[in-house]
Amino acid sequence: MKTQIVGIIGVNGKFGQFFKIFFEKSGYTVTGSDVMTEVTNRHVVEQSDVVIFSVPINSVVSVVNEVVKFSRVGQLFMDVTSIKSPAVEAMMRSKADVVGLHPMFAPTVETFRGQVIVRCDARLTDTWSVWVQSFLESTKATIKKSTPEEHDKHMTVVQALPHAVSLMMARVIDSMGINVLESMSYTSPFYKIAFGLMGRILSKDSAMYASIQMENLHVPEALEELEHEIKRFRAIIETKDKGFRAQVFNADFEASKKHFGKEPIASADKFFDDVIGLMADFSEENMFVLEAGKDQSGIAHQITGIFAGAGVNLTSFHSQKIKEGKFRFLVGFDKPKDSPAIKAIESKINEIPYVKIVQ
């Protein structure tokens, strides 16, 4: 089956634009509607083979309910919201085939590559099952199959609970009148990561994070457990009997370690060490940040060759894709940045076409 038209309701949002670009590059005709567009939601449903609902979590049910009467057999409905049960339940009232998707990343990434997409099949004919499988394989993402209910339960601890803890930490810092910039001067890698989580959330739209907390029916139970554990933790800390305090604290610590298991803990510990190593490399005083404005083979070889030719050892080298066709290189070296050898290297790097030193 050749699907001709993909319709996106919420096309002007960040994820709407992300999917629009992806499907257009894949050769599909894309239509879309949004607030203040001439194209209506009804038009998108009536004209499209695939309809993607890319709207806020707290709006998806009402938007789907608005258009289900215009659906038809042989059509596919998909949503990309981060809470699956309400959206899938609403789409199931249509005549279309239904699959719920949750891209586990922000739409600021350049591609699906290296990301995770949760797939919740609800009603798929063989034809649409083949199409969905082909579409997901073409993204190069890692696909995790789930049911809407299982997904929402896991999102409680994967998404909602970490967000809640970070938001509460931010409120504590505010309530205690802590100077954030000053506290950063005392920081360890752990606090930088914790601060990074808080900052990442606070840099975004509050409505999105509110919906993640308020639209998932499993969140209140998790918050109740969190409240219980905070009270219990405080009681342990405030206990005057030091021996009892240490005994209970250690027992809880060991119980949690046993529940997590050796493999997840070892993996998390290695991940943390890797992050600390990257942070150390990125914080080097003697380093260049380079940007390549064109994707061409051999750039990394040219850069490292200049250092090798000057007899300067590299202490770190990282490459990162930042935009379509653009790369960033972080290069650390073992000589002072203002030394004659590095100044000469800087001049030679500036001669490489499409490469510039930005820091």
> In this model, does residue 100 exceed pLDDT 60?
yes
Report pLDDT for 174.
96
Mean pLDDT (the chain, rounded): 92
Boundary residue ending a domain (146, 181, 204): 146
Q: How far is residue 290's CA from residue 349's CA, in Å, rounded to a whole number?
A: 9
At 283, list the tokens: 């914080």
DSSP three-state, residue 130: helix
Report pLDDT for 194.
87
Per-residue pLDDT reduced to its tens digit, 52-94: 999 999 999 999 999 999 999 999 999 999 999 999 999 999 9
Q: Verify that 110 and 25 share a domain, yes or no.
A: yes
| Torsion sign (Cα): 47, 50, 54, 58 | positive
Q: Verify that 19 and 139 share a domain, yes or no.
A: yes
Average of pLDDT values for 208-222?
A: 93
Average of pLDDT values for 108-120?
A: 87
pLDDT grade for 254, boundaries at 50, 70 and 90 = very high
Report pLDDT for 3.
62
Report pLDDT for 354.
83
Q: Mind giving me the DSSP string for 228-249? A: HHHHHHHHHHH-S-HHHHHHHH
pLDDT grade for 95, boundaries at 50, 70 and 90 = very high
Average of pLDDT values for 305-321?
A: 89
Residue 60 is part of a domain; what is its CATH number? 3.40.50.720
DSSP code of residue 74:
T
Tally the domains of the chain: 4
pLDDT grade for 323, boundaries at 50, 70 and 90 = low
Average of pLDDT values for 118-123?
A: 97
Q: Verify that 14 and 138 share a domain, yes or no.
A: yes
Boundary residue ending a domain (238, 265, 296): 238
What b/e readout covers 269-283, taking b as 16+ CB neighbours within 10 angstroms? eeeeeeeeeeeebee
At 245, list the tokens: 């305090």
Phi and psi at 6, nearest 5°, equal -105, 125
In which order are the strands placed within the sheet that holds 314-323? Answer: 314-323, 326-333, 287-292, 355-357
DSSP code of residue 312:
-
What percentage of the chain exceeds 70 in pLDDT?
98
Q: Verify that 98 and 192 share a domain, yes or no.
A: no
Per-residue pLDDT reduced to its tens digit, 256-295: 999 999 999 999 999 988 888 888 777 778 989 888 877 6
Least Cα distance to 252 among 219, 220, 228, 223 occurs for 228
Those residues with Cβ within 8 angstroms of residue 184's Cβ, 6 or more apart along the chain or in another chain:
191, 192, 195
Q: Verify that 40 and 165 share a domain, yes or no.
A: no
Boundary residue ending a domain (146, 166, 193): 146
Q: Verify that 244 and 234 share a domain, yes or no.
A: no
pLDDT grade for 357, boundaries at 50, 70 and 90 = confident
pLDDT grade for 343, boundaries at 50, 70 and 90 = very high
- 């709207």: which residue's tokens? 55
Q: Verify that 71 and 164 share a domain, yes or no.
A: no
Choice between 140 and 3, residue whose per-residue pLDDT is larger = 140
pLDDT grade for 2, boundaries at 50, 70 and 90 = low
Q: Report the DSSP beta bridge partners of residue 99.
A: 78, 121
Report pLDDT for 1.
55
Range of the domain at 300: 283-357
Q: Verify that 254 and 232 share a domain, yes or no.
A: no
Q: Verify that 352 and 305 share a domain, yes or no.
A: yes
Q: Verify that 104 and 125 share a domain, yes or no.
A: yes
Least Cα distance to 136 among 125, 150, 120, 151 occurs for 120
Q: Verify that 229 and 246 share a domain, yes or no.
A: no
Longest dimension (CA), the chain: 73
Q: Verify that 213 and 118 share a domain, yes or no.
A: no
Those residues with Cβ within 8 angstroms of residue 8's Cβ, 6 or more apart along the chain or in another chain:
16, 19, 20, 30, 31, 32, 33, 44, 51, 52, 54
Report pLDDT for 114.
83
For the ranges 119-133, 172-186, 222-236, 291-305, the lowest mean pLDDT is seen at 291-305
Report pLDDT for 283.
77
